[in-house]
């Protein structure tokens, strides 16, 4: 909204300084500041409200150190994160951008499902919350919406540098080109199912190759591959974030690092100069995602003010399902989804630890008559907690690993 106001002031009355809102870098910085202010103010108010209403977490006795102290801590804190994302986005983004519309829908959709899950746990006194099938259905519906939009919408295109004849230095003279997503003459926009693949020379994979065996018209049926992949990624990352949310500040700190990395990747993907230098896809209009990413990072950092050990509030499924879905859809939009196993390595390991534990327990119970375990407890962070490592140290070490994985993710752009 502020973007459109200052655009009008700049064009109509030549208001001094109004043109600065045309720059993505300025709006991204403002998004972080506004998000931090909102989370600081709204977070304190929400925590006080939740305490008055006795909306506290019911913690199962798992024999973990410090577990009893967490009983009754307010939950549904994910509302703080959602507010910290949506308000700056609505104020600073171009709201007619197809990518921003998808991100807003993702935030509201998974936020609604997460809120319903927390509501059932707290007010209906059902510790298991919403059924797993219902959550999966919600994630599948989101995947269908995102997949169909990205595949069929004419607003979702890439531009091929091979069709671009002027040199990049000739383009720099265009106003705001180095900071703002613009249409660059000489580059033809085209629909494409290409994505970024790490450690490969050309750094690109076209999903249509997977069904090339179907014949000359195989590319027309690529949606049969693309949409299920989108659904799988959204479901996996969203549930991975949900499983990681088991310690104070663990999921939030990891999400902040991942969000900052994705925002940086969106910046270079939507900037003709950086995209040319790194030899990656140039995606028109994706620069707006930098502002969304900045708001996301700001809200996660702001939420950590209250969620760091010892936590004053838990995000609940309202937050964990939402941040996981946001990360997945963000990566798919900027065509970096195949980097997620590396970038979201903590989420992946946490999910695998649960899958391995449950599968091995069932296998050994069937074969030997008693279930055996690989880990002392899953998800993995509880395994280390059972070994006597203090919770803050586990969170900090996982954060260090997440930062290392983020650096490696960025490095893959040049390692081919």
Q: What is the pLDDT of residues 60-104, one digit of tens each?
A: 656 666 666 677 788 889 999 999 999 999 999 999 999 999 999
Instruction: Provide the pLDDT for residue 214.
Output: 80
Cβ 114 vs Cβ 106: under 8 Å: no
CA neighbours within 13 Å on the CB side: how many for 46? 24
32-44 tens-digit pLDDT: 999 999 998 888 8
Structure token digits, residue 317: 């499924």
The per-residue pLDDT for 403 is 97
Pick the closest to residue 243 from 377, 51, 123, 97 (CA basis): 377
233-247 burial code (b ≥16 CB/10 A, e <16): bbbbbbbbbbbbbbb
127-136, 167-176, 212-221, 237-246 — which one is most confidently predicted on average? Answer: 237-246
Residue 27 has pLDDT above 70, yes or no: yes
Name the strand (E) or helix (H) holding 206.
strand 204-206
pLDDT of residue 79: 94
> pLDDT at position 395, please?
96
Please, which residues bridge with residue 159 across strands? Answer: 189, 282
196, burial (CB in 10 Å: exposed 0-12, middle 13-18, buried 19+): buried
In this prediction, residues 397-410 reach a mean pLDDT of 96
Band the pLDDT of 220: cuts 50, 70, 90.
confident
Give the pTM: 0.92
b/e 102-111 (16+ beta carbons within 10 angstroms → b): bbbebbebbb
- Cα of first residue to Cα of last residue in the chain, in angstroms, is 42
Angstrom distance (rounded) from CA 235 to CA 213: 28
Q: What is the pLDDT of residue 14?
A: 76
**Closest CA relative to residue 330, chosen from 280, 296, 281, 300:** 296
Closest CA to 226 of 202, 203, 210, 204: 210
- Residue 394 pLDDT > 90, yes or no? yes
Residue 405 binned pLDDT confidence (cut-offs 50, 70, 90)? very high
- Distance separating alpha carbons of residues 244 and 252, to the nearest angstrom: 9
């Amino acid at each position: 909204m502020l973007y459109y106001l200052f655009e009008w002031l700049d064009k109509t009355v030549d208001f001094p300084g109004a043109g600065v809102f045309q720059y993505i870098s300025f709006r991204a910085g403002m998004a972080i500041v506004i998000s931090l202010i909102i989370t600081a103010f709204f977070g304190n108010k929400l925590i006080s409200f939740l305490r008055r209403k006795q909306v506290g977490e019911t913690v199962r006795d798992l024999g973990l150190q410090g577990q009893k102290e967490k009983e009754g801590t307010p939950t549904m804190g994910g509302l703080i994160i959602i507010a910290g994302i949506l308000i700056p986005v609505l104020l600073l983004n171009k709201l007619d951008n197809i990518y921003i519309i998808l991100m807003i829908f993702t935030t509201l959709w998974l936020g609604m499902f997460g809120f319903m899950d927390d509501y059932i746990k707290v007010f209906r006194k059902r510790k298991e919350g919403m059924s797993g099938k219902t959550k999966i259905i919600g994630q599948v519906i989101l995947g269908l919406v995102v997949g169909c939009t990205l595949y069929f919408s004419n607003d979702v295109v890439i531009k091929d540098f091979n069709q671009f004849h002027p040199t990049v230095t000739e383009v720099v003279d265009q106003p705001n080109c180095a900071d703002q997503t613009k249409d660059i003459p000489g580059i033809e926009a085209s629909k494409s199912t290409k994505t970024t693949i790490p450690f490969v020379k050309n750094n690109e994979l076209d999903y249509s190759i997977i069904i090339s065996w179907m014949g000359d018209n195989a590319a027309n049926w690529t949606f049969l591959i693309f949409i299920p992949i989108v659904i799988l990624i959204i479901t996996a990352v969203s549930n991975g974030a949900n499983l990681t949310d088991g310690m104070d500040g663990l999921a939030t700190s990891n999400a902040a690092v991942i969000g900052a990395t994705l925002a940086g990747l969106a910046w270079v993907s939507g900037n003709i100069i950086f995209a040319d230098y790194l030899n990656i896809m140039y995606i028109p209009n994706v620069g707006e995602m930098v502002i969304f990413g900045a708001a996301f990072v700001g809200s996660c950092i702001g939420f950590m003010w209250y969620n760091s050990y010892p936590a004053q509030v838990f995000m609940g499924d309202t937050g964990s399902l939402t941040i996981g879905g946001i990360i997945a859809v963000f990566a798919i939009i900027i065509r970096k989804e195949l980097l997620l196993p590396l970038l979201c390595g903590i989420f992946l390991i946490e999910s695998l630890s649960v899958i391995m534990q449950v599968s091995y327990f069932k296998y050994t119970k069937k074969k030997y008559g008693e279930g055996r375990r690989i880990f002392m407890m899953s998800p993995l962070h509880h395994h280390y907690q059972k070994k006597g490592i203090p919770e803050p140290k586990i969170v900090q070490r996982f954060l260090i690993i997440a930062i290392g994985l983020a650096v490696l993710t960025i490095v893959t752009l040049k390692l081919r």
